[in-house]
Structure 1
Amino acid sequence: MIVATRIGHTLMEPTEILPVIAIVSLVTVEFGGHALLRFITTDHEKLGEFRERFFRAGHAHAGVLLLLSLVYLLYLPRAGFSAGLEWLAGGVLLAGVLAQSGGFFLHLAVGAQGARSSGTMVTRIGGLLLAVALITLAVGLIGAA
């Protein structure tokens, strides 16, 4: 049985819609790069070294991990998973991207230098979700070989 999302009259598979979400999310990373550049070039002191460091980390992780997700989603159909498992694996991956990078931004908002915060916890959870998604894909690819 195929699990798909209805958009208009067309049924879309997870590996058709999840890459669109990742690509659209890259636009937010581009906006973040613009905002970071503005902070660095016009109001460097306002942001401060601590916040700038976490802004850069969140921004960089978001961009790199979204690009990773596009490669992941190209390989996902080769694992031979059901559509439901593809939705789950792809969703876990994208949730991991959001949590890992978003945790840096959360920490810059609520955290303090040298101390843990809800942001560092979210970042760690994101890393765990990414690992689960990547191992799931690797196992599927090995099984399909």
Structure 2
Amino acid sequence: MSTADKWLTVIALVSVPTVMFGGYSLMRLTAAGKLTDFQRSLFKAGHAHAGVLLVLTLTALTIAGRAELSDPYTWVVGGLLAAGTISQSGGFFLHAAIGQPGKRSFGTTLTVLGAAELAVALLLLAWGVATAP
């Protein structure tokens, strides 16, 4: 396992409990009636995206390691995956905090940016795997 594979995997694994805490927070806020339907739906979407994208990140890092991609290449892919995960899921939370139903906000833009970062990361990973010796 390369240095990049190792540390990016550690970061992703340490991030999993934060998503678990988010689920706990969602349950508490919902039970207390502190979220509107709009906020609850976005909170659920952000939470679900964060969990799924962390699993995607761990899978992508495993693929990068098996393809024996260089450390700098893996850092770029891993960095884009981390930034994309944070941007996309965080955009849902931000829109829940500052947005309004049916209107765009900076949270909406952040979610789209995250999707673009994730797409670039996966295309780079695909290219790295396809051209690996």
Quick check: TM above 0.5?
A: yes
Residue 28 (structure 1) aligned to one of 2, 15, 18: 18
Count of residue correspondences: 132
Q: Pairwise mapping of residues 39-58 of structure 1 onto structure 2 (< 5 A)?
A: 39-40=29-30, 42-44=31-33, 46-58=34-46
Q: Distance in 1 between matches of 2:62 and 2:7?
A: 12
Larger displacement relative to structure 2 (85-94 or 72-81)? 72-81
**How far is 1:54 from its partner?**
0.3
Aligned CA-pair RMSD: 1.3
Residue 122 (structure 1) aligned to one of 97, 100, 110: 110
Q: Distance in 2 between matches of 1:57 and 1:126?
A: 14
**How far is 1:126 from its partner?**
0.2
- Structure 1 unaligned runs (5+)? 1-11
Kindly, what percent of the aligned residue pairs are identical? Answer: 49
Conservation of the 8 A alpha-carbon contact between 2:5 and 2:74: yes
- With structure 1 as the length reference, what TM-score do the two structures score? 0.86
- With structure 2 as the length reference, what TM-score do the two structures score? 0.94
Greater percentage in strand: 1
Q: Distance in 2 between matches of 1:77 and 1:61?
A: 24
Structure 1 consecutive aligned stretches of length 4 or more whose deviation exceeds 6 Å: none
Work out which of the two has the higher radius of gyration on C-alpha atoms and give 1 or 2. Answer: 1
Q: Distance in 2 between matches of 1:105 and 1:120?
A: 10
- Structure 2 unaligned runs (5+)? none
Equivalent residue, structure 2, for 1:5? none
**How far is 1:56 from its partner?**
0.2
Conservation of the 8 A alpha-carbon contact between 2:43 and 2:92: yes
